[in-house]
Chain A
Amino acid sequence: MKQFIIGMALTLTCFSYSQTCTFTFLGELSDFHDGTLISSATIHIKEIDKYVVSDFDGKFKIENLCSGTITLTISHVGCETKTVSYQLDNDMFKKIYLEHHLEELNEVTVSTNLKTESTSIEQSINKSVIENYSDKSLGDALNSLSGVSSLNTGNTIVKPMIHGLHSSRLLIINNNVRMYDQEWGDEHAPNIDINSSGKVVVVKGANTLRYGSDAIGGLILVQPQRYAAVDSLFGSSMLSLNSNGFGGNINSEIIKTYKSGFYGRLQASYKKFGDFKAPDYYLTNSGLKNLNASARIGYRSFEKGFDAYYSVVDNEIGILQSSHIGNVGDLVAAINRTEPRVIDDFSYNIDYPKQNILHHLAKIEAYKRFKNLGKLTVQYDLQINRRKEFDLRRGDLSDTPVIDLRLFTNALQSNLHMDFIEGLKLDIGALVRFQQNDAVSGTGVSPLIPDFKKFEASIYTIGNYNLNASSKINAGVRYDYSRIEADKRYNLTDWNETYNYDELFPEFETNTIENTSILTNPEFTYHNISANLGYSKQFESDLSVFANYGLATRVPNPSELFSDGLHHSAARIETGLLTLYKERAHKFAASIERNNEDFGFSISPYFKYIKDYMQLIPVGITTTIRGAFPVWEYNQINAQILGVDIDVTKKITNRLNYVGNLSLLRGQNLSDDIPLIHMPATNLTNSISYYNDELNQLTMRLIHKTVLQQKRYPDYNFYTYEPILQEDVYVDISSTTPAYSLFSFNSSMSFKAFKTGSLKLEFNVENIFNTNYRNNLNRLRYYADELGRNFNIKIKINY
């Protein structure tokens, strides 16, 4: 409309000064990237409503123009339509650049099927799926994808796992920022509010070099929603209520966009749950409180733009009270008990043990496109993570956390995306990162992770080449330098005798020895090379084939190097080792995919060989004043993981759809020829959905999920002497939980509530049959059952 008025005004201006209509405008059209001249483009001259076409040399000529403004709208097949205007008071020659790459345009359209790289093996979940999980976590949402499982601590701490690998072997990239939130810990879930994201992509194949060298498991990309450059103000609010936990989530977002390319978004969500309920009892102290907010402003045009983002996540998560145990005797008692030790009535109180985590993330990114070269992006980001873990303690210390860590990370990175050569896209990037961990004093225990500083620098180059119209090849290489400098106190006996560090690392010793501890300054430097190779071919029958190879290298994380001490709720003493060195993985993945509405599928086999795989396993028993504890130590073995992920979609009728997936995985410790610890069991999901557009977009879906028992597990069970019974008792920590099947139901309807908005209602049931089950990949599986039935209502208003 505005355009029209302006156009009219200009036309009028043109008419009123139409005495001198003798000017000539000469134009030349060329491609922005490689300067190719663009012929047979249509040019519409708004002021006189005339069309001309560019000639073979990309030139066009408009004669007999009046003085004043001239507005040209240039369109061409495969190009973005471009409108330019010039002030004309003489004859004029202008070079006009057009954007000739369709793929580049796709970057700005919101598409769920678009891959991050054309050769990549990946899966994604879009905004509507994310909304289904608005009161759950990132890990829960990703669990719905084949090949993705999770390592849980209770039901609120959910760590995503790809092909059986998690924590430091998975990169989580939130808004193009690599998350550093003490992600090494099994019970440290990613601090991401799923409501702030527009799309989540899981990259299983090898195209991860741009983000890091250590994505042995894979990569999770949490991406923001993109908005069209129009003048608009819109938003949505969603309320979700649950019967299990008597809680829910409220999320609101408001977005302002301008035609000029500026945009802004504000989002906030609040989540609160009380004690959750297993089918037969309340899970005392399993509630949570969670406050998140994010803000984004930016400007985007074809040539340049910037994006600034800030998010804060504040989590308070209760941990099942029954999981607080002392020594191995308590663990045996817990394993033998069928119900948790503490069962109280429902409460919203979050008592000890609990976790409090505050995570700030801020970034600013800017890009500019250069003619005949490409797009240069520069980004600075920083993160501050404060993690406090509270335990049941005595006296003055009862309100003091046992773990209090503050991790500060900031990074500067740049990427040059070059596309001036036909068929070839080349990315060159560099990154520097500095990280500082502060084990905040005052906890009254020696810190699990010491103070350390970490420096990183990386360079990479990735090329994508179109072999022909249907096949593409991708290759990349990356080099990483990293250096870690820590200050850690060791028990003198451990330093000198148990681990023999005084002979292995005399250079780390300082002369500070207090009582029984020695202050040391461990320093390690690593050089890593990683690489990948990818190939994709598209066949005419909607069929595509992908193949990836990746070489990934991971250096030991701080917990693998330094952790030292008692881990409550696991009743084990965990010991890191300074002697660990980096692990290296060869990853092969392939995928055959059919993208068809009637019958689509993807079959993705993979194979990983991981040399010097670091794992934490029980190695023996130590007796302390608190009694006996198993000691878990890190060691390195050669491992192999192979499996296949299968996804099928089938249109039964116009309104009925079937979606199913199956994940098979087999992990083997090759060094000891036994199964690998903590590998997900075979699982399959079936769902049938009904959709009727005419009936207020009624959607109904019945979902079935079966997780089989993991029969292949390493037997680390042991005997411990129980002084009271005066006999050895068997500690069964390895046996896996039985198979289970769960059913759930989703339904939703949309209504046109008011002029520019809509109302969406959802009703969902989880665990319909209130099945008792335990999940083998839940660290609290010894103590309590998983959640029972839950009724959920969601109300979403778009405005």
Chain B
Amino acid sequence: MKNIKSVKTIKLLALLLVTSIAFVSCSSDDDDHDDHDHEEELITTVTYELINGTDIVTLVYQDLDGEGGADGNTTVSGPLTANTVYSATIELLNETENPAEDITEEVEAEGDEHEFFYTSSISDVTITKLDEDSDGNPVGIVTTFVTGDAGSGSLTIELIHEPTKPNDGTSASAGGSTDVDVTFPIEVQ
């Protein structure tokens, strides 16, 4: 009787050991120590381009190494002309990929979950969103940018993920979480 018991015990132990080995081997099947992840969602570059015939103004924010590391740079190609109607488009890129990945397309495809907000400290400036999502609410990839009298100030561009739509046009009323928040110094002359 005692022998049978110990045989049982040994068998059980063996079974457990086998199971545990099976576990260990299972756990290493999708080992991936050689490759690593690129920041796929990263937005490195925001380009806002305003066009009126040959009068082209480009606002660029670029942070090629993403969060952390070196700080980003803001470049504004030149002053805007007073009392002018510009056609404007925004482009978001991930330039750590080669070729650069166009994040704007993703935003466009999920227009109902995203919205751009443009806020200028110059009171004469009016920005109107021209494009709409599937529900008929604005997205803000394509805009018209109308300048008034001369002045200088700033332009803040925000991209909100999961905003409340429709909203009153301000990012504060839209809630959501911020994917892009950049500010450019602008001058109207």
Residues of A whose CB lies within 8 Å of any CB of B are 260, 297, 299, 306, 308, 310, 324-327, 329-330, 333, 341-342, 360, 362, 364, 366, 380, 382, 384, 392-395, 397, 406, 408, 410, 438-447, 451, 487, 489, 491-494, 498, 515-517, 564-566, 568, 573, 575, 622-629, 723-724, 726
Contact = CB atoms under 8 A, between A and B. Distances in A.
Contact of B40 (A444, A493, A516, A575): A444
A412 B175 CA distance: 52
Contacts of A493: 65, 68-70
Nearest to A438: B31
A308 B43 CA distance: 51
Interface string B23-46: 110011011110111111101101
A333 B173 CA distance: 10
A444 B38 contact: yes
B120 to A, nearest CB: 9
Contacts of B160: 326
A384 B30 CA distance: 14
Contacts of B152: none
Given A260-B5, A622-B67, A623-B71, A330 B32 contact: no
A441 B162 contact: no
Contacts of B17: 364
Nearest to B43: A625
Contacts of B13: 306, 308, 364, 366
A565 B158 CA distance: 21
Nearest to A386: B27
B161 interface: yes
B181 A326 contact: yes
A308 B35 CA distance: 38
B72 A444 contact: no
A366, A446, A494: residue with the most chain B Cβ atoms closer than 10 Å: A446
B107 to A, nearest CB: 7
Nearest to A340: B175
Contacts of A625: 43-44, 46, 61, 63, 72, 180-182
Contacts of A329: 178, 181
B31 A382 contact: no
Contacts, number: 176
5 contacts: A395-B109, A498-B69, A623-B72, A625-B61, A625-B72
A366 B13 CA distance: 10
Given A408-B24, A724-B172, 6 more contacts: A306-B12, A325-B177, A362-B20, A394-B161, A394-B179, A439-B37
A107 B68 CA distance: 55
Contacts of B68: 491, 493-494, 498, 564-565, 573, 575, 622
B154 interface: yes
Nearest to A342: B175
B144 interface: no
A723 B171 CA distance: 12
B121 interface: yes
Contacts of B63: 624-625
Contact of A492 (B9, B69, B154, B158): B69
B40 A397 contact: yes
A568 B113 CA distance: 18
A327 B106 contact: no
B69 A573 contact: no
Contacts of B156: 723-724
A712 B142 CA distance: 51
A566 B121 CA distance: 29
Q: How large is the interface on B (under 10, 10 to 19, 20 to 34, 35 or more residues)?
A: 35 or more
Interface of B: 5, 9, 12-13, 16-17, 19-20, 23-24, 27-28, 30-33, 35-41, 43-44, 46, 61, 63-72, 96, 103, 106-107, 109-110, 113-114, 119, 121, 154, 156, 158, 160-162, 171-172, 175-183
Nearest to A495: B69
A394 B106 contact: yes
Nearest to A497: B70
Contacts of A516: 64-66, 69, 96
Contact of B66 (A260, A364, A491): A491
Contacts of A393: 41
Contacts of A325: 177-178
B97 to A, nearest CB: 10
B10 to A, nearest CB: 10
Contact of B23 (A306, A362, A627, A628): A362
A515 B96 contact: yes
A308 B11 CA distance: 13
B65 A491 contact: yes
Contacts of B110: 394-395
Contacts of B72: 623-625
A298 to B, nearest CB: 9
A333 B69 contact: no
Contacts of B109: 395
B175 A333 contact: yes
Nearest first, the 7 closest Cβ-Cβ pairs linking A and B are A326-B178, A627-B181, A444-B40, A491-B69, A395-B106, A723-B183, A493-B69
Contacts of B161: 326, 392, 394
Contacts of A440: 30, 32
Nearest to B157: A723
A332 to B, nearest CB: 10
Given A362-B19, A625-B63, A723-B183, A438 B32 contact: yes
Given A397-B41, A438-B31, A326 B179 contact: yes
A333 B41 contact: no
A229 to B, nearest CB: 14
Contact of B65 (A299, A438, A492, A628): A492
Contacts of B39: 444-446
A439 B30 CA distance: 11
Contacts of A366: 13
A494 B69 contact: yes
Nearest to B107: A394
B16 A364 contact: yes
A406, A498, A625: residue with the most chain B Cβ atoms closer than 10 Å: A625
Contact of A724 (B30, B31, B119): B119
B8 to A, nearest CB: 9
Contact of A330 (B46, B119, B178, B182): B178
Nearest to A327: B178
A408 B28 CA distance: 9
A441 B32 contact: yes
Contacts of B12: 297, 306, 308
